[in-house]
């Protein structure tokens, strides 16, 4: 009797192992695993084919289908395919030197609005100095954008010749964005440090 129970248990264990093994392999391959390394290489190859230097892909946002590339001169946003396998289109970039030189007139942030980059894809994006702690895009329903750190020594400190931390901020939309954008910026203490519209 115990021999039959042992054989039945072994058969049951084998069935469970085979079931979970098949279930694991049967799930849609790559549905959650995005090959970021090959996508990064593909993006850099296409950027370099357009005579731009691709230092590195800083961020890939698969929710928004956009990636950000650091070049010798600035940050270049690129539209990626919905299956996250290739670059679709380059979007006009943001220039480090221009941001440094125009620090007095731009204040703590600068931005661009690009409508209809492709059907159902518009983007507003820009640079922010470290003192811009909270950015609100009033013209897009008071949205707070995504924001990521690039590095220090890129953005000129206001009022001086030194440098400070540089951030990139952005939002994407299926609809056209309002131009000129109406944006408000708050500092670390919660006080307003910038507000108003800026023509492109």
Q: How confident is the model at residue 21 (pLDDT cuts 50, 70, 90)?
A: low
Q: Rounded CA gap, 42 and 58, in Å? A: 14
- Let me know whether 18 and 68 are in one domain: no
Domain of 12, in residue numbers: 1-30
- For residues 80 and 20, membership in a common domain is answered with no
Quick one: 55 and 144 in the same domain?
A: yes
In a shared domain, residues 45 and 22: no
Q: Take residue 90 and report the two structure tokens written for it.
A: 């380059």
| Same domain for 40 and 8 | no
Task: For residue 197, list its beta bridge partners.
Answer: 182
CA–CA dist 127, 146 (Å, integer) = 12
> Is there a single domain that holds both residue 21 and residue 74?
no
3-state secondary structure of 17: helix
User: Which helix (H) or strand (E) segment is 40 a member of?
Assistant: helix 36-49
pTM of the model: 0.73
Residue pLDDT, tens place only, 163-193: 678 899 999 999 999 999 999 999 999 899 9
* β-strands 163-173, 66-70 pairing: unpaired
Instruction: Decide: helix, strand or coil at residue 96.
Output: helix
Q: What are the pLDDT digits (tens) for 27-50?
A: 444 444 445 458 999 999 999 998
143 burial (CB, 10 Å; 0-12 / 13-18 / 19+) is middle
């Amino acid at each position: 009797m115990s021999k039959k129970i042992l054989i039945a248990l072994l058969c049951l264990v084998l069935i469970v192992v085979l079931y979970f093994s098949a279930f694991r392999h049967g799930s849609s391959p790559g549905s959650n695993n995005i090959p970021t390394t090959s996508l990064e290489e593909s993006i850099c190859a296409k950027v370099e084919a357009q005579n731009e230097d691709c230092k590195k892909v800083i961020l890939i946002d698969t929710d928004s289908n956009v990636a950000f590339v650091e070049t010798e001169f600035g940050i270049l946003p690129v539209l990626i395919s919905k299956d996250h396998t290739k670059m679709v289109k380059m979007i006009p970039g943001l220039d480090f030197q221009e941001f440094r030189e125009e620090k007095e007139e731009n204040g703590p942030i600068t931005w661009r609005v690009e409508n209809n980059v492709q059907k159902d894809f518009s983007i507003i994006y820009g640079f922010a100095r470290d003192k811009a702690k909270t950015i609100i895009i009033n013209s897009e329903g008071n949205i707070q954008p995504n924001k990521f750190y690039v590095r220090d020594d890129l953005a000129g400190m206001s009022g001086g010749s030194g440098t400070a931390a540089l951030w990139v901020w952005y939002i994407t939309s299926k609809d056209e964005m309002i131009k000129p954008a109406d944006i408000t910026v708050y500092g670390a203490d919660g006080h307003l440090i910038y507000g108003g519209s800026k023509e492109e």
